[in-house]
Amino acid sequence: MPPLSKTQALDPPTRLRRPASERPILIGHEIYRASSYGPYHPLRVPRVSTVLDLTHALGWVAPGQFLRAPRIKPEALHVWHTPEYVAALYRAEQEGAVSDAVRARHNIGTHANPVFPEMWRRPATSAGGSMLAGMLLEEGGIVHHPAGGTHHAMPDAAGGFCYLNDPVLSILSLRAHGAQRIAYVDIDAHHCDGVEAGLAQDRECLLVSVHEENRWPRTGPLGKVGSAVNLPVPRGLNDTEFAMILEELIVPLVTQFQPDAVVLQCGADAVLEDPLSRLALSNRAHFSAVAALRPLSPRYLVLGGGGYNPWTVGRLWTGVWGVLNNHDMPDRLPVQAREVLAALEWHGVPRARRTPAPELIDTLQDAPREGPIRERVRADVAHLRQITGLQAEGRAT
């Protein structure tokens, strides 16, 4: 891959500077506030806008910590996506429709990946933010980009609500700016099939995915494929089981790999209240993963991903930002933050879901959701430890 300059990838050119305090950087954009995949799509709910509103209501964004995501230039995407697909995606927004041939080849204009008014600008902004993160981390640091994490897109097609694969693009950007060995950890409820397709054969990458078994896209069976390590977990995964997975598998794998950068896809759809999975985690599980991976490399990028309950996803990614900044989680949110959550709406679901439990308005951190560790989960972790050689000394190869 040819190196990307700091100006050729992004539109408009973005002036890059390291914050004097070396504090974490939050990347976002207002395009997500007014953009929706449509009134009946799971991504009709507000997500990134809630994070921006909550972090500011909490006083957690200091001057210089927020950067507006730039929109990627089409030609910069050719480092991974095909020129034909990029052109088709751009043209679909201009024309507001796709032909049957384009739909069949590129999987756009479908129920999952619909044509909508910002279908180029929105993913191009997400991709721009993730590629910007790679540039910002050239000298080390921490970046949180909640609009990132679209891990299903393929080089020539959309998939699973994902039009561009910004995790792959972020990894390529990190590599172009000095990070050779990169560990990618994905705790979304859905397997990261697009990232695995792009990077599983890259010996300088480690991919670790913990995802619900038999959940779309039904890839990622237990085992190791190239540099990818997959752990499908059963329904009802609880915080205690996740803590064991984190302590005995994820952290040792990343530590053994000795990465120059860690990218965490922190999909919020693995929590109990999410409508598109059947896992039972609290957001504390995600916070523990964010904290555990932070010291394992000099460069740390935390992306968003799935998450389809507006209250749980906004609280979770806001809490991620709090963990990255060492903020104390309030026992009860201040008035301004509660007002942000109380104003959210979730149309097209049963009334019970449209009226959230009081704790989804009043608190940021869930109560723990602990439970027994099932023998099946323990055995699968032991199997992966064995086949990945975690007991071996030195770098993994």
| Of 303, 65, 80, the residue nearest 175 (C-alpha) | 80
Distances (CA, A) of 129 to 43, 277, 351: 19, 27, 35
What phi and psi values does residue 16 have, to the nearest 5 degrees?
-100, 135
Retrieve residue 385's tokens.
Answer: 């430890």
Q: Tell me the sheet residues that pair with 231.
A: 210
- Sheet strands (E) in 132-267: 141-145, 182-186, 205-212, 223-225, 228-233, 261-265
* Distance of alpha carbon 345 from alpha carbon 226, whole angstroms: 43
| Of 307, 41, 316, the residue nearest 189 (C-alpha) | 307
| Other Cβ atoms within 10 Å of 195 Cβ, number | 26
Which residues have CB under 8 Å from 259's CB, separation 6+? 179, 181, 182, 183, 206, 296, 297
* Distance of alpha carbon 254 from alpha carbon 207, whole angstroms: 9
Catalytic (active site) residue 152: yes
Catalytic-role residue among 152, 190, 191, 286: 152
Which residues have CB under 8 Å from 166's CB, separation 6+? 123, 126, 127, 129, 130, 131, 148, 149, 150, 303
Residues serving a catalytic function are 152
